Structure 1
Amino acid sequence: MGKKTLYIECNSGIDERMLIASLLNLGISEDLLKPVIDSTGLEGLEIEVGKTSLNGSISHFFEISRESECEINNVNYRKMKANEIYDIINKTDISDYAKRISINAVNSILKAVTETCYSNIEGFDNDSIILDKDILTIIVAAFCVDQLSVDDVIISEIHEGIGTRTNKGNIVSIPSPQIARILINSQLSVKFVDVAEELLSLIGTSIISTLTQKQRTPRSCRILSQGIGSEKDESTKQMRAMVIEEDEPQVNNETWILETNIDDSTGESLAFTMEKLLESGARDVFFTPIFMKKNRPAFKLSVTCHGDSVKKMESVIFKNTTTIGIKKYRIEKTVLEYSIINVDTRFGSVRVKASSHEDMKYYSPEFEDIKAICNITGKGFKEISEVVEQAIYECFKFKN
Structure 2
Amino acid sequence: MSTLFWDCQTGISGDMAVASLLDLGASEKAVRTALAPLAGEGFELRVGRVEKAGLDCCDFDVVLDEEHDGHDHDMAYLYDPEWKPGEGSTAAGDACGHDGARGHGHRSYAQVREVLASLDLAPRARSLAEKAFHLLAEAESKAHGVPVDEVHFHEVGAIDAIVDVVAAAVCLDSLGVEKVVVPCVVDGTGMVRCQHGVIPVPVPAVVNIAAATGLPLCVSARQGELVTPTGAAIAAAAMTSDALPERFTVKACGMGAGKRDYDPPSILRALLIEEVDVPAPGVPLAPAPGVSLAPGTSVPGDWIWKLECNIDDSTGEMLGAVLEDLMAAGARDAHFLPVFMKKNRPAYELAIICDDAHREALERLVFAETTTIGIRRQRMERSVMSVSWRDVETSFGTVRVKVCGRDGLLRAYPEYESVLEVARAAGTDFRTVYLAAATSA
Tell me the TM-score range normalised by the shorter chain.
Answer: 0.5 to 0.7
Partner amino acid, structure 2, of 1:210: A
- Equivalent residue letter for 2:268: M
Over 3 Å counting, the alpha-carbon distance change for 1:127 and 1:248 in structure 2 is: farther
CA separation of 1:220 and 1:98: change in aligned 2, threshold 3 A: same
**Cα 1:114/1:249, change in 2 over 3 Å:** farther
Q: What is the aligned partner in structure 1 of residue 19 from structure 2?
A: 21
Name which one, 1 or 2, has greater alpha-carbon Rg: 2
Contact 1:157 1:191 in 2 (8 A): yes
Q: Which runs of 5+ in 2 are unaligned?
A: 72-89, 91-101, 281-441
> Partners of 2:225 and 2:260 in 1: how far apart?
18
Partner of 1:175: 202
- Which residue of 234, 237, 247 maps to 2:266? 237
- Deviation by residue 1:46-93 (Cα, 9 ceiling, x = unmatched): 111100011122111111122477998356442122222212212212
Partner of 2:60: 62
CA contact (8 A) 1:23 1:241 kept: yes
Q: What is the CA-CA distance between 1:116 and the residue it aligns to?
A: 1.9
Per-residue deviation at 1:189? 2.1
Among all aligned residue pairs of Structure 1 and Structure 2, give the percentage whose two residues are the same amino acid.
22
Structure 2 CA distance for aligned equivalents of residues 117 and 128 of structure 1: 11
**Correspondence for 2:317:** none
Amino acid corresponding to residue 127 of structure 1 in structure 2 = H
Match of 1:83 in 2: 110
Q: Work out whether 1:108 is the aligned partner of 2:106.
A: no
Q: For each residue in 1:294-330, what CA deviation from the matched residue of structure 2 results, as whole angstroms up to 9, or x when unmatched?
A: xxxxxxxxxxxxxxxxxxxxxxxxxxxxxxxxxxxxx
2:211 aligned residue = 184
Residues 69/187 of structure 1: CA separation in 2 closer, same or farther (3 Å cut): same
Separation in 2 of the partners of 1:79 and 1:180? Answer: 22
Output the TM-score relative to the length of structure 2. 0.52
Structure 2 distance, partners of 1:151, 1:247, is: 17
Shift of 1:136: 1.5
Alignment of 1:316-355 (within 5 A): none
- Structure 2 letter corresponding to 1:229: G
* 3-state SS of 1:94 partner: coil
In the other structure, the counterpart of 1:127 is 152
Residue pair 1:41, 1:88 contacting (<8 A) in 2 also: no
* Amino acid in structure 1 at the alignment position of 2:272: V
CA pair 232-171 structure 1, distance change in 2 beyond 3 A? closer
Distance 1:213 1:186, change over 3 A: farther
Residue type matched to 2:275 in 1? E
User: Cα distance 1:180–1:48, how it changes in 2: closer, same or farther (>3 A)?
Assistant: same
1:43 to 33, 41, 44: 41
Cα deviation for residue 156 of structure 1 reads 2.5
Which residue in the other structure is 1:383 paired with? none
Q: 1:238-387 alignment to 2 at 5 Å?
A: 238-248=267-277
The answer to whether 1:204 aligns with 2:231 is yes
Q: Distance in 1 between matches of 2:69 and 2:104?
A: 15
Q: Secondary structure at the match of 1:20?
A: helix
- Contact (CA 8 Å) 2:59, 2:257: kept in 1 or not? yes
Query: How many angstroms apart in 1 are the aligned matches of 2:69 and 2:137?
Result: 31
Alignment match, 2:119: 92
Runs of 4+ in 1 over 6 A off after TM superposition: 68-72
1:144 aligned onto 2:171: yes
More relative contact order in 1 or in 2 (CA 8 Å, sep 6+)?
Answer: 1
When normalised by structure 1's length, the TM-score is 0.57
Superposed displacement of residue 126, structure 1: 1.8
> What is the rounded CA distance, in whole Å, between the counterparts of 1:70 and 1:76 in structure 2?
6
Pairing 1:154–2:152 present: no
Report the residue type matching 1:65 in the other structure: V
Q: Kindly provide the amino acid, as one letter, of the partner of residue 143 in structure 2.
A: T
Name the CA shift for 1:147/1:173 in 2 (closer, same or farther; >3 Å): same
CA distance in 1, matches of 2:210, 2:68: 36
Distance verdict in 2 for CA 1:182–1:42, change over 3 Å? farther
Q: Is 2:62 aligned against 1:33?
A: no
CA shift, 1:35, in A, is: 1.5
